[in-house]
């Protein structure tokens, strides 16, 4: 039966259901012997919808008092000469980092107004055909990896980017493609070409791969701007280790990952602006109990990594646990928040995730998670390879072949799909076979407008979802259109009433 939802922000609709037993009776059975259960269905958005992130980045950092690192000085020589557990204050201005900084245990690296750059200035340009060329500035050839949106020419695999007066140029893969706003690098000849006259402009090329390495535990990094590092795919301009605190920085325009937590148990990443990085904003690998909170993660994947399925976009975590909360994850060219491969004890809560090209949230071949109180809007409309409108392509929230996952109390609004549950054959992990099981979708507000395809379950023939593997209950749906089949199960598209007859959302409402 279709029931009308009550439109009252922050309120709930209370239903009295006869014979419902999933939570037990709420009172003594009435006359006639049937128990009644009181259940609530959301009619307003979670608190995150009205929350404002507030300022992030170096403007929110405290002033630095400690050992000075002047502009033009090699930071490592200053660090090595100072007592352990020192605070180092980078002077305001541009610090050109020629080798990765290696802090010691307990050190603090700070400096509001300081910019750490991995770029070198390019000069000595000569006119050559349709462009201008400089020689002798590229590194030696190195092994390439990474999945690019263009999987033929593979432009995303090279790390050295070119900037003219701070503007990021677009890489082309052949000299014949050179035009205004682009650059071409010939590694065999050690030549860099630009399509615009560089005369009178400040031309820089990212060259150093890493700004700060995870060389010790319990390091603090705060107040810095970190930009133009030639980090290679899956590599971070800022590496984060065990017990690190990374707060109030701006990490931008680096080739691959902005901030990468690597075997960094207990690290905290908060109040940073992580924007315009070539592959991914924040990454996490083999790190337990990490807190990623109150960051602005936006416009990442500027260098052409595969939008739909290769670690591009906002935040990606693998084989890790911890909390991702209170972040604004906005307009990334990829997935907003992605947990993939053996994640566990994961909490994704209170984030505002919108306008990302692929899924808003993807939880894939992993275990035990709570995904709650998020606002997930307008995600999944990317048009790259592997993008599309089926539930196989994902949705606002996509749970892919994972177990013991609770999706509750979220606003999932106007995404390419609403909620996608996928059952595939994906092998075994450290906590057992990857399987879609014990997934509960509860208390969410799901708005499917005219551009939204559907919500439901899709499955491989070789790995059908077992009965009871997925529970939908106490959700509120707003569905545009009068007769569209907006739900899916066992290879069929279903109307609302057919969806309920299949055993889902029997105590939910639709309007």
Q: What is the 3-state secondary structure (H, E, C) of 305-363?
A: ECCCCCCCEEEEEECCCEEEECCEEECCCCEEEEEECCCCCEEEECCEEECCCCCCEEE
Hey, what are 351's tokens? Answer: 């984030």
pTM above 0.95, yes or no: no
Taking only the tens place, the pLDDT of each residue in 264-284 is 999 999 999 999 999 999 999
* Pairing of β 67-69 and β 87-90: parallel
Distance CA 118, CA 208 (A): 5
Could you give the CA distance from residue 66 to residue 226 in angstroms, rounded to a whole number? Answer: 20
DSSP 6-26: P--TT-EEEEEEET--SS--S
Q: Indicate left, alpha or beta for 505 from its phi (over 0: left) and psi (-120 to 50: alpha).
A: left
Rg from Cα positions in the chain? 25
**Chain CA centroid to CA 18, Å:** 43
Could you report the per-residue pLDDT of 335-391, keeping only the tens digit for each? 999 999 999 999 999 999 999 999 999 999 999 999 999 999 999 999 999 999 999
Quote the pLDDT of residue 333: 98
Alpha helices (H) in 359-420, listed in sequence order: none
pLDDT at 4 (0 to 100): 33
pLDDT at 35 exceeding the cut of 80 = no
Chain centre distance of CA 479: 28
Torsion over CA: 383, 384, 387, 388 (sign): positive
Confidence at residue 21, expressed as pLDDT on a 0 to 100 scale:
32
Averaged confidence pLDDT in the chain? 92
pLDDT tens profile 465-476:
999 999 999 999
Q: What is the pLDDT of residues 421-436, one digit of tens each?
A: 999 999 999 999 999 9
Specify whether the CB–CB gap between 260 and 283 falls below 8 A: yes
Tell me if residue 497 falls in helix, strand or coil.
helix
pLDDT band at 76 (very low <50, low <70, confident <90, very high): very high
Mean pLDDT computed over 313-334: 98
pLDDT of residue 395: 87
Percent of the chain with pLDDT over 70: 92
Q: pLDDT per residue over 255-268, tens digit each?
A: 999 999 999 999 99
Which range (25-34, 192-201, 308-317) has the least confidence? 25-34
Q: How confident is the model at residue 16 (pLDDT cuts 50, 70, 90)?
A: very low
What is the distance between the alpha carbons of residues 91 and 112, in angstroms, rounded to a whole number? 8
Is a pLDDT exceeding 60 seen at residue 18? Answer: no
Q: Is the pLDDT of residue 2 over 80?
A: no
Neighbours of 482 (CB within 10 A): 5
pLDDT at 10: 45
In this predicted structure, the answer to whether residue 190 has a pLDDT above a threshold of 80 is: yes
* Model confidence pLDDT, tens digit, residues 121-162: 999 999 999 999 999 999 999 999 999 999 999 999 999 999
Q: What pLDDT is stored for residue 179 in this prediction?
A: 97
List, for residues 202-239, the tens digit of each pLDDT value: 999 999 999 999 999 999 999 999 999 999 999 999 99
Check residue 44 and give its pLDDT. 83
Which pLDDT score, from 0 to 100, does residue 481 have? 76
The C-alpha atoms of residue 361 and residue 336 are separated, in whole angstroms, by 6
Predicted local confidence at residue 482, as pLDDT: 57
Closest CA to 108 of 222, 268, 31, 20: 222
Residue with tokens 């009619």: 43
User: Looking at the predicted structure, is the pLDDT value of residue 286 above 70?
Assistant: yes
pLDDT of residue 394: 87
């Amino acid at each position: 039966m279709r029931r009308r939802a009550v439109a009252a922000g922050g309120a709930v609709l209370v239903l009295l259901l006869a014979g419902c037993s999933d939570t037990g009776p709420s009172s003594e059975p009435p006359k006639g012997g049937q128990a009644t259960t009181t259940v609530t269905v959301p009619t307003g958005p979670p608190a995150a919808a009205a929350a404002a992130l507030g300022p992030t980045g170096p403007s929110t950092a405290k002033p630095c008092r400690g050992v000075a690192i002047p502009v033009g000085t090699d930071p490592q020589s200053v660090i090595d000469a100072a007592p352990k557990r020192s605070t180092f204050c980078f002077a305001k201005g541009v610090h050109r980092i020629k080798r990765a900084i290696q802090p010691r245990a307990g050190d603090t690296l700070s400096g509001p107004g300081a910019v750490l750059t991995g770029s070198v200035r390019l000069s000595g340009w000569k006119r050559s055909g349709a462009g201008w060329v400089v020689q002798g500035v590229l590194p030696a050839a190195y092994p390439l990896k990474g999945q690019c949106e263009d999987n033929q020419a593979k432009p995303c695999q090279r790390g050295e980017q070119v900037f003219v007066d701070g503007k990021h140029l677009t890489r082309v893969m052949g000299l014949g493609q050179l035009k205004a706003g682009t650059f071409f690098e010939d590694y065999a000849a050690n030549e860099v070409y630009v399509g615009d006259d560089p005369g009178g402009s400040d031309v820089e090329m990212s060259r150093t791969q890493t700004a700060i390495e995870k060389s010790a535990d319990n390091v603090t990094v705060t107040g810095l701007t970190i930009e133009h590092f030639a980090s290679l795919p899956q590599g971070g301009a800022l590496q984060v280790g065990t017990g690190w605190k990374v707060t109030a920085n701006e990490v931008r325009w680096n080739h691959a990952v902005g901030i990468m937590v690597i075997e960094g148990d207990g690290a905290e990443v908060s109040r940073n602006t992580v924007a315009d990085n070539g592959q991914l904003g924040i990454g996490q690998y083999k790190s337990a109990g990490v807190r990623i909170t109150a960051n602005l993660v936006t416009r990442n994947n500027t260098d052409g990594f595969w939008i739909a399925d290769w670690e591009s976009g906002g935040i990606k975590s693998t084989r890790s646990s911890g909390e991702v909360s209170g972040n604004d994850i906005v307009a990334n060219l990829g997935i907003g928040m992605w947990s993939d491969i053996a994640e566990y004890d994961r909490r994704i809560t209170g984030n505002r995730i919108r306008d990302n090209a692929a899924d808003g949230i993807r939880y894939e071949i992993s275990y035990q998670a709570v995904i709650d109180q998020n606002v997930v809007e307008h995600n999944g409309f990317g048009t790259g390879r592997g993008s599309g409108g089926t539930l196989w392509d994902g949705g606002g929230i996509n749970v892919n072949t994972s177990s013991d996952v609770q999706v509750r109390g979220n606003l999932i609004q106007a995404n390419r799909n609403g909620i996608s549950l996928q059952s595939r054959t994906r092998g075994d992990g450290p906590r057992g076979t990857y399987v879609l099981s014990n997934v509960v979708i509860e208390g969410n507000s799901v708005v499917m407008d005219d551009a939204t395809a559907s919500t439901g379950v899709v499955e491989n023939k070789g790995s059908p979802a077992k009965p009871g593997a997925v529970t939908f209950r106490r959700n509120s749906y707003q569905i545009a259109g009068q007769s569209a089949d907006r739900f899916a199960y066992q290879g069929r598209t279903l109307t609302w009433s057919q969806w309920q007859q299949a055993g889902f959302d029997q105590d939910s409402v639709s309007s």
